[in-house]
Structure 1
């Protein structure tokens, strides 16, 4: 069975944002983004096209385009063709980073299908990611030089975050290191979505800045919540195997906070978590110790700090269905923890 042939419509256009008219506007924009993505990624040799559309057709939330379209509601050109192009470019960059991330992580699955590196090989996956950056560059070139410059900075941040994660914390505080990595790897592209959606809709500088900062905080919340779910979720509810990061030797915020505890649990964890956990019994013991630690509560305190920043920035925006929707989205990201 070839995974690239069936089209699964993105669920993002069907998210209930709390207002029927807004839902319709965003859904229309999401359809336009999807059409443009398929048109753009179909350009090139056949042997390239099936590789670069592999993850596109596998689905995905399309959260970044949705954020851009939502941010565009604050300008007179909400949902305009330029907004759609910026949204498509953002999703294309996101797709490219997934191809490269899967090579770095030696991942076998992505979005429920074989990762590109597992289906073909690392070289093909890297080149597919590279060609996606070319597509994103072409879309940006049809906008303006300000957008190209903004994306250059965003791309530099993305690579800096990946490099920072690869090299490790070194002598730095591991929690500060972790927060910098997720800001650069996850937060920055959602921040760009808020910024470029507002900018290309002609929103004011004040509102554009607020939407950029909201995007950054929402990205931070998303990642920390994901990391909490990886450790503390019920697999039947989350569909995830708890402790995946522990098996890979990746210590996320709740684990780092637990490791820093001046307690018997913290001491036992420091003795156990010295690298990847290869034995199921060790993973079970680590999860049990983490459950007794303050790691979950302290990680949630960070989540609520970023949620408070979202509220601070939302206060800079006019009250509207779009503003209510931003509150809804931020709240949803937190509620995923249960």
Structure 2
């Protein structure tokens, strides 16, 4: 398989073209986070310099291959979605008290919470300036995406209301907080490449489904991989008692009439004080071995397959093959 990107690419010509265009996006991204103010400059470039998969801009470039992928507007759109994603990471890490991001100290660990939050705001501003050059429809789509990102974070923060299904609430959070921007990434690519409206709709729906599957796979990886793979400290969500799909499924089991002693024992570990590293390690190990992790993995697989089904209306070829391979790789990633 030929690929130097986060999406598996079997076609060497497509791989070479996307790799070259992604390098152009990287240059534009670094230009976009350049500031005359030294503090703003250093803080804005912190996560750019830490690297990352660049999944969202790559998806923009790949979807654009369904039309004229070489248009300047496609590159600008790819920069917009990555700037938006980076901005959310600065805010997320403050809210989650995450010490690491992409293997490097999170921004608030270096400059404090206030600077990290304001840096995220600066990146949102740069994304807005770039998207303004793409026209009013792009601005409208970006605004709607930003609204969903905020709603996702808001609903994650306050949690489900009394009577709400916690699992359904969590899936809606993932749809808004993660899938919305992945969907927009694909939509922008097809849209600015001049694709037909039906193709734009297809890749948007694919992005929505694959975005939720991607986050469920992350929930699994946070328990089953080490920090070198995930780029984050394993068990951070457990330590902060942030709900994830495995913990929600465990709580549902423990509250049911068929709860087992194992369910209750693992839940007791999760509800303990996890500020101690040894206690956190025990909780991670116990949850990792529980069937709810396999159940979460199965849900990710189901959503990835549903995403592939959305691609039925696309013409056969290397672009469709790459999107299918991406869904397959996501499933393998959580296995």
* TM superposition score normalised by structure 1: 0.89
Q: Where do residues 3-22 of structure 1 align in structure 2 (5 Å cutoff)?
A: 13=5, 16-22=8-14
- Is 2:59–2:185's contact at 8 Å kept on the other side of the alignment? yes
1:45 to 2:40 alignment: no
User: Which among 206, 210, 213 is matched to residue 205 of structure 2?
Assistant: 213
- Is 2:7–2:322's contact at 8 Å kept on the other side of the alignment? no
User: Which among 53, 68, 85 is matched to residue 94 of structure 1?
Assistant: 85
Q: Which residue of 2 aligns with 1:78?
A: 69
Q: Hey, what's the Cα distance between the residues in 1 that align with 2:237 and 2:13?
A: 41
Q: Secondary structure at the match of 2:48?
A: coil
Q: CA deviation at 1:63?
A: 0.6
**Change in CA separation of 1:47 and 1:156 when aligned onto 2, cut-off 3 Å:** same
Q: Which structure 1 segments of 5+ residues have no match? A: 1-10
130-139 or 213-222, which moves further after superposition? 213-222
1:315 to 2:307 alignment: no
Q: Which residue of 1 aligns with 2:300?
A: 303
- Is 2:235–2:280's contact at 8 Å kept on the other side of the alignment? yes
User: Which among 307, 323, 335 is matched to residue 332 of structure 2?
Assistant: 335
Q: CA deviation at 1:232?
A: 3.3
Q: Hey, what's the Cα distance between the residues in 1 that align with 2:14 and 2:277?
A: 48
Q: Hey, what's the Cα distance between the residues in 1 that align with 2:285 and 2:50?
A: 35
**Change in CA separation of 1:280 and 1:41 when aligned onto 2, cut-off 3 Å:** closer
Q: Which residue of 1 aligns with 2:46?
A: 54
Q: Which residue of 2 aligns with 1:203?
A: 195
Q: CA deviation at 1:234?
A: 6.5
Q: Hey, what's the Cα distance between the residues in 1 that align with 2:43 and 2:204?
A: 32
**Change in CA separation of 1:286 and 1:38 when aligned onto 2, cut-off 3 Å:** closer
1:231-254 deviation line (CA, Å, top 9, x unaligned): 234778768765332222123112
- Is 2:101–2:231's contact at 8 Å kept on the other side of the alignment? no
| Greater relative contact order (Cα < 8 A, sep 6+) | 2
260-269 or 33-42, which moves further after superposition? 260-269
Superposition CA RMSD, Å: 2.2
Length, aligned pairs only? 327
**Change in CA separation of 1:17 and 1:113 when aligned onto 2, cut-off 3 Å:** same
1:305-329 deviation line (CA, Å, top 9, x unaligned): 2122112111111101011000111
148-157 or 225-234, which moves further after superposition? 225-234
- Is 1:207–1:317's contact at 8 Å kept on the other side of the alignment? yes
1:229 to 2:221 alignment: yes
Q: Which residue of 1 aligns with 2:173?
A: 181
Q: Which structure 2 segments of 5+ residues have no match? A: none
* TM superposition score normalised by structure 2: 0.90
1:3-33 deviation line (CA, Å, top 9, x unaligned): xxxxxxxx96486511011001111210111
Q: Secondary structure at the match of 1:148?
A: helix
Q: Hey, what's the Cα distance between the residues in 1 that align with 2:6 and 2:231?
A: 22
Q: Which residue of 1 aligns with 2:259?
A: 263
1:151 to 2:142 alignment: yes
